[in-house]
Chain A
């Protein structure tokens, strides 16, 4: 008898037949449903390179021109504040006899004050203090708020209740007033306990006051995130495999909440700078000969009609810093947490 027709030949034979068949036939062509070969499969797969959360965020951020521009301003301000003073021939507390109350000129681009101190370098130091206060306060808030918020949210029960009641009370307290009170008493206390403090007791008491009041926002935010994240399936899966509480918080909850945490901390920077300049303007912040932008503006107030440039430069710098950080924070929020976009 004839040889046995293999399965493959049979298929090919049918293919020939169907090709010759009427193209208008409604009959189903079985070969259209044949399994794809490896090459065909390869040609079909259009894989995008897998991107991490951070790469995604970076792409989104780079598209945001306003945020990039703000980042540029922040970088320029940081160079101005941290590198600038080294390039200046004057020191911030150096009183140059005979060149008091100069208008802006080549030797002193920002002019000099009533004691003959170069205002350019004083503004640089002031910007440095403002930036340092913003960053330090936001780090303190970040650490304290995240710790408290994450533990309150994760442990729940009476711990959560206690923390949240505490937050509510601190939240409804008038913050500026309490900061002023804290600042006055801490400054006196620190002056007596640790004389000759490197940073200055005023600055240090501002740090403490901020840390005590502003962690609340962060703690609330983190707690909310943790509460919603801890009900997710992957946390359940981790628990089922015997993961400990600390592991779950570190490996599953915090990484997922990190966008919100960073954005909240970022917005803390301009608000801390705002408050510091406000306090210094009222004569409560940096004490002479140290200069902060607020205290420079404060000392300029009395000579406003004759020496407007004394006020102009620190005021411009404060406005620029706050504006840049606000915009940068907005951009970061849109990049890290697109759901929050207005």
Chain B
């Protein structure tokens, strides 16, 4: 177990390092500098470049970037003057994190019972309806779901506020749009994994002992059926993170996702890099946690 965790930790660090390196050099492919668009003369430009260390060779800049990164310094924003990237992330991320956490909680609270219901009522109308909704929910991109909601509930019937996150009611549409596809995915996953283990010996034993259907389902079946759902948690965090990019744009939520998009549109390269590395780190940590959890939940898995 310890060996496995340390191995996974090491490979996560390698992955993160590669992401940082790739991002850095890709950004360098972009010709021109961040200040090229501004109307300043060549001497001033050279001075600014010197100030930010942009006049040095690539590998020196890369070395400096890594050195600063280890200290937790992601550089300063080129467009939002006077702010470091770390400050911007610290300011904007909590908004996104709250939304994302709510979406994950919703996906689990709805997805798990729906999956169990579909599995226990297999091949009935209930099951078919749940499965049909899920097929649709997975096929629909989140920006379509949210614009449809925005138009119908926000603009036609005006029952929900359309922008910002001031009141709890503001959260309803973004959280729904963000959690729809993970919810559907969890439902399908849990349903098929419960059906998969239906014929297992330990379930027959449990029933043969005279345990009630409820106890068999919750205590014996669900515990084992949850394993595929746990493995999905890593990709789910990734999905919610990327989903939040468009959701925050659509609902004008001042989170990190919206800032990331703005930074792309404004070509604020340090901010793009900083947020990419930050998002990548979150995902890699999420995957690491899922792998360790996976190992803990299922003692049959040996590394």
Contact = CB atoms under 8 A, between A and B. Distances in A.
A301 B147 contact: yes
A67 interface: no
Nearest to B143: A281
A282 B141 contact: no
B141 A184 contact: no
A141 interface: no
A300 B246 CA distance: 14
Interface in B78-137: 135-136
Interface in B256-303: 261, 264-265, 267, 272, 276, 279-280, 283-284, 287
Interface residues of A, number: 41
B211 to A, nearest CB: 28
A322 B29 contact: no
Contact of A301 (B31, B192, B250): B250
B141 A322 contact: yes
Contact of B143 (A177, A278, A323, A327): A278
B151 A326 contact: no
A185 interface: yes
Interface of B is mostly: helix
Interface string A150-190: 00000000000000000011001111111011101110110
B221 to A, nearest CB: 18
Interface stretch (A12-20, A218-226, A237-245, A311-319): A311-319
Contacts of B47: none
B14 A308 contact: no
Interface size class of B (residues with CB under 8 A): 35 or more
Given A174-B279, A281-B143, A315 B148 contact: yes
Interface of A is mostly: helix
Contact of A185 (B12, B18, B26, B241): B26
A178 B26 CA distance: 10
Contact of B150 (A175, A278, A283, A304): A304
B264 A278 contact: no
A50 interface: no
A50 B285 CA distance: 54
A34 B148 CA distance: 79
B153 to A, nearest CB: 12
A301 B246 CA distance: 11
Given A173-B280, A311-B151, A319-B144, A181 B250 contact: no
Contact of A178 (B19, B144, B150): B19
A274 interface: yes
Interface string A179-213: 01110111011001000000000000000000000
B23 A304 contact: no
Contacts of A318: 141, 144
B242 interface: yes
A176 B143 CA distance: 15
B287 A185 contact: no
B136 to A, nearest CB: 7
A311 B147 contact: yes
A315 B147 contact: yes
B11 interface: yes
Contact of A177 (B31, B280, B287): B280
Contacts of A185: 26-30
A282 B15 contact: no
A181 B138 contact: no
A305 interface: yes
B139 interface: yes
A274 B261 CA distance: 18
A205 B26 CA distance: 12
A173 B19 contact: yes
A181 B192 contact: no
Given A174-B280, A184-B264, A305-B155, A189 B30 contact: yes
17 contacts: A168-B11, A169-B11, A173-B19, A174-B276, A174-B280, A176-B242, A178-B19, A185-B29, A189-B31, A270-B139, A277-B141, A282-B245, A282-B261, A315-B144, A318-B141, A323-B135, A323-B139
Given A181-B23, A342-B192, 11 more contacts: A168-B11, A169-B15, A174-B238, A174-B241, A181-B22, A182-B26, A184-B272, A189-B30, A278-B141, A281-B141, A315-B144
